[in-house]
Chains A and B, each alone.
Chain A
Amino acid sequence: MTSSSPGPLIEVEHLTMRFGGLVAIDDVSFTGRPREITAIIGPNGAGKTTVFNCITGFYKPTIGRLTLRGDQEYLLERMLGHEIGQRARVARTFQNIRLFPGMTVLENLMVAQHNKLMTASGLSVYGLLGLARFRNAEAAAVEMARGWLERIGLVADADRPAGELPYGAQRRLEIARAMCTEPRLLCLDEPAAGLNPRESTELNALLVSIREREQIGILLIEHDMSVVMKISDHVVVLDYGRKIAEGPPAEVQRDPAVIRAYLGAGDEAGPDA
């Protein structure tokens, strides 16, 4: 994938996260490139979601530097939670889906475009007056949402409450919602969890199309090895908070340390695939 070998989009350096005496992440460094899907895998409790929570500002890392290169360099560990979404443009999804269940599908996608619309509505003043410049921005936002609904096949359900959608559709909607923030980096926390094989294939296609069309970087936490092996360009393996391997998927799959992490203790059933 690395045709022109661009510089890294996100650089994680010496990331360490301690909760009291527990070391959840221990000196992990890796990079994620634009137009690449970087998968973070590892057994349960390896610290994958903690890495995500550090990158997206839900935790403040104990040690380490998180640099996102966009129009400028953003030091994520110094930014407030919402600023990371707003300025550094890192979007994420959650392991247990976090949609706005009582709001409609379309409204979910509109909320994702909040900051853009807020500026267009002149902090609500133009909006209250119903000026054309706000109405146009709103119409453009609806069109963008419609485009995403077409890509995830939910146009007909646009006006239904998001909580009423079937599980797989909610997963896709959450990704579309993250994409509506027009991110530079998309962090997906187990997007294939609970999907049937057909939905999982659709998800792969969606992720690949995001990589090809939007040209953004994707960080992916995944248990489903079929997803990881098929679509990721680069794999980082964590175990007990440490990075134990890194490289292209085929290489990582053969790595003895990785096999040991998944099979070694004898009480693990092995990779989910």
Chain B
Amino acid sequence: MTTAARLPFMLKDAALTAFVSAALGIFIIGFHTVDVSGKGLVFDYWFEDLAVAVIVIFFGRLGLSMAAGGRRWPALVLGVALGVAGASPLRLPSTFLHWFIVIAAVLIIVRAIWPWVDVELARMRHSTHGVAAGRAGAKWFGAILLVAAAIMPLMPFADQKTMDLAVLILTYVMLGWGLNIVVGLAGLLDLGYVAFYAVGAYSYALLSTQWGLSFWVVLPIAGMMAATFGVLLGFPVLRLRGDYLAIVTLGFGEIIRLVILNWVDLTNGPAGIGGIPGPTLWGAVFAETAPPGKQTFAEMMGIPFTGNQRLVFLYYIILVLALITNFFTQRIRRLPVGRAWEALREDETACRALGINPTNTKLTAFAIGAMFAGFAGSFFAAKQRFISPESFVFIESAIILAIVVLGGMGSQIGVVLASVLLIGLPEWFRDLGGYRMLAFGMAMVLIMVFRPRGLIAHREPSVRLHPVGSKT
């Protein structure tokens, strides 16, 4: 046992950490100024908050060093105790402190059981049985996820807010899967992906409001438009590599947005396009009253109208669109072009020596990725019924890229998990108020610390010589 593992030392270390945080926190947390009318600025003292935070930091540090020093059980007990305290209806000065304690508890517990999990995982990975089990597990996990997604709207908890969030998450899942082709498979760092999303959205918005084309007619056109833009943008820039490509795609993303913003005659500029019709089901609209000559869905089915019907319908559309994206990607990954994408990501020079045309191969990846963004974009326009350039700013590209990177480049399930985390968490964390983005940032840092290659780093070969389970 090293000195770090001895209890007095740990206590001293924890006390020191608590002292430092108290000293830092007294000014940051301890004093607040409040504007009281008539008296001007007065101090408000938050010493209870500070005291609770310092106590939690003391125990948190103690728990972490116990876990690191091999005292797994005391650390676990401490973690669970903290968790219970955080989740209990104990009256703490603010809700954030509850969250703070729970997060500390989770950290300690994870840290305490991590060595055990790690050993188990390593053992699984290195046995043939483990590989086969892992594949079966992944298959089942995917199937369960699919069934859960399919029956989700029928569940009692599927109220308007939940459905709205689910549609949002699925939109990002689809965008993530689309970008996964470009970034995950072909290894082209595209920071302007949202441009193709915008092209798809404006294609639908303009064609439907100007020419009265329906969603289902425009959907493929929007995909084509986005793919065309992908080729046009890709052609001059795809000879660049790595960081240079990233910068140029970032620039093109902004150019598209600025064109939309300034081409007022066509796009109505910053005022955006409103009154975009929603998607229809066999001609039936999802609204309380149908426009002349049309029928509402509720009338067609002979059921009473509820606001949720439209969301459920949108949910199934985006679910199907996302699944098509997934199916397509899984399939094309096993084709020569998919393998060439991955080979280009690994080594472009070697690809050229093997007679693979790098420009064409990259262009197909770029165009196909853009096409799926176009589909998602026209869905977005149909869902929002109003679009403006503000929806297509750089941060959207960054979020989609973060989904792909956090999920594990090239992993399809990883994109789903990362979308739920990145889009779902900020929504669930709304209770945290101003600390929402802090928690979001912390979740991202934690993922990158514990899983630097993304949530799912496993890569399934596109072709096998020896089927899994057979003796080699």
Specify whether A and B are partners.
Answer: yes
| Interface residue ranges, A against B (CB under 8 Å) | 56-58, 81-87, 89, 91-92, 94, 98-104, 106-107, 110-115, 117-118, 121, 123-124, 127-128, 138, 142, 145-146, 149, 155-156, 158-159, 177-178, 181
Q: List 8 A-B contacts (CB under 8 A).
A: A91-B354, A100-B346, A102-B459, A106-B461, A110-B339, A114-B354, A114-B356, A128-B332
Cβ of B461: which chain A residues have Cβ within 8 Å of it?
Answer: 103-104, 106-107, 159
Cβ of B210 < 8 Å from any Cβ of A?
no
Q: How far is the CB of A165 from chain B (nearest CB, A)?
A: 14
Q: Binary interface profile of B, 445-472, with partner A (CB < 8 Å = 1, else 0)?
A: 0000000000000010111111000001
Cβ of B139 < 8 Å from any Cβ of A?
no
Cβ of B255 < 8 Å from any Cβ of A?
no
Complex contact B463–A110 (CB within 8 A)? yes
Complex contact B355–A114 (CB within 8 A)? yes
Complex contact B352–A114 (CB within 8 A)? no
Cβ of B357 < 8 Å from any Cβ of A?
yes
Cβ of B354: which chain A residues have Cβ within 8 Å of it?
Answer: 85, 91, 111-112, 114, 177-178, 181
Question: A118-B337, A124-B332, A128-B332 are known contacts. Are A101 and B346 too (CB-CB below 8 A)?
Answer: yes
- Alpha-carbon distance between A100 and B353 when the two chains are bound, in angstroms: 13
Complex contact A117–B336 (CB within 8 A)? yes
Complex contact B357–A82 (CB within 8 A)? yes
User: CB within 8 Å of A: which of B317-332?
Assistant: 328, 331-332
Cβ of B35 < 8 Å from any Cβ of A?
no
| The one of B352, B462, B465 that contacts A82, using a Cβ cutoff of 8 Å | B352
Closest to A100 in B: B346
- Alpha-carbon distance between A56 and B350 when the two chains are bound, in angstroms: 11
Task: Rank and list the top 10 A-B pairs by shortest CB-CB distance, nearest first.
Answer: A85-B355, A86-B355, A158-B465, A100-B346, A117-B336, A127-B335, A98-B350, A111-B343, A104-B461, A81-B352
Closest to B328 in A: A128
- Alpha-carbon distance between A158 and B353 when the two chains are bound, in angstroms: 22
Cβ of A89: which chain B residues have Cβ within 8 Å of it?
Answer: 355
| The one of B328, B336, B462, B463 that contacts A114, using a Cβ cutoff of 8 Å | B336
New contact pairs (5) apart from A85-B352, A86-B355, A100-B342, CB-CB < 8 Å? A86-B356, A106-B464, A107-B339, A121-B336, A127-B337
Q: How far is the CB of B192 from chain A (nearest CB, A)?
A: 25
Cβ of A113: which chain B residues have Cβ within 8 Å of it?
Answer: 336
Question: A100-B346, A106-B464, A158-B466 are known contacts. Are A82 and B335 too (CB-CB below 8 A)?
Answer: no
Cβ of A98: which chain B residues have Cβ within 8 Å of it?
Answer: 347, 349-350, 353
Central interface residue in B328, B356, B459, by most chain A CB within 10 Å: B356
Cβ of B69 < 8 Å from any Cβ of A?
no
Cβ of B130 < 8 Å from any Cβ of A?
no
- Alpha-carbon distance between A155 and B466 when the two chains are bound, in angstroms: 9
Cβ of A123: which chain B residues have Cβ within 8 Å of it?
Answer: 337
Q: How far is the CB of A154 from chain B (nearest CB, A)?
A: 10
Q: Interface size bucket, B side? A: 20 to 34
Q: How far is the CB of A183 from chain B (nearest CB, A)?
A: 9
Complex contact B335–A103 (CB within 8 A)? no
Question: A85-B353, A102-B346, A111-B356 are known contacts. Are A118 and B336 too (CB-CB below 8 A)?
Answer: yes
Central interface residue in B343, B349, B354, B464, by most chain A CB within 10 Å: B354
Cβ of A91: which chain B residues have Cβ within 8 Å of it?
Answer: 353-355
Cβ of A84: which chain B residues have Cβ within 8 Å of it?
Answer: 355
Cβ of B246 < 8 Å from any Cβ of A?
no
Complex contact A121–B465 (CB within 8 A)? no
Closest to B339 in A: A111
Cβ of B351 < 8 Å from any Cβ of A?
yes
Cβ of B336: which chain A residues have Cβ within 8 Å of it?
Answer: 110, 113-114, 117-118, 121, 124, 127
Complex contact B466–A159 (CB within 8 A)? yes
- Alpha-carbon distance between A158 and B355 when the two chains are bound, in angstroms: 23
Complex contact A106–B465 (CB within 8 A)? yes
Cβ of A106: which chain B residues have Cβ within 8 Å of it?
Answer: 461, 463-465
Closest to B356 in A: A114
- Alpha-carbon distance between A138 and B464 when the two chains are bound, in angstroms: 12
Q: How far is the CB of B349 from chain A (nearest CB, A)?
A: 6
Complex contact A124–B353 (CB within 8 A)? no
Cβ of B466: which chain A residues have Cβ within 8 Å of it?
Answer: 158-159
Cβ of B358 < 8 Å from any Cβ of A?
yes
Cβ of B331: which chain A residues have Cβ within 8 Å of it?
Answer: 127-128
Central interface residue in B339, B340, B347, B353, by most chain A CB within 10 Å: B353
Complex contact A115–B355 (CB within 8 A)? yes
- Alpha-carbon distance between A127 and B461 when the two chains are bound, in angstroms: 17
Cβ of A127: which chain B residues have Cβ within 8 Å of it?
Answer: 331-332, 335-337
Cβ of A92: which chain B residues have Cβ within 8 Å of it?
Answer: 353
Cβ of A82: which chain B residues have Cβ within 8 Å of it?
Answer: 351-352, 355-358
Closest to B131 in A: A159
Question: A98-B349, A115-B355 are known contacts. Are A103 and B465 too (CB-CB below 8 A)?
Answer: no
Question: A82-B355, A115-B355, A124-B336 are known contacts. Are A100 and B347 too (CB-CB below 8 A)?
Answer: yes
Cβ of B332: which chain A residues have Cβ within 8 Å of it?
Answer: 124, 127-128
Q: How far is the CB of A155 from chain B (nearest CB, A)?
A: 7
Complex contact A107–B340 (CB within 8 A)? no
Cβ of B459: which chain A residues have Cβ within 8 Å of it?
Answer: 102
Cβ of A104: which chain B residues have Cβ within 8 Å of it?
Answer: 461, 463-464
Closest to B472 in A: A156
- Alpha-carbon distance between A100 and B345 when the two chains are bound, in angstroms: 9
Cβ of A181: which chain B residues have Cβ within 8 Å of it?
Answer: 354-355
Complex contact B356–A121 (CB within 8 A)? no
Central interface residue in A91, A103, A110, by most chain B CB within 10 Å: A103
Cβ of B346: which chain A residues have Cβ within 8 Å of it?
Answer: 99-103
Complex contact B340–A114 (CB within 8 A)? yes
Complex contact B352–A107 (CB within 8 A)? no
Closest to B410 in A: A102
Q: Binary interface profile of B, 348-379, with partner A (CB < 8 Å = 1, else 0)?
A: 01111111111000000000000000000000
Closest to A187 in B: B353
Complex contact A114–B465 (CB within 8 A)? no
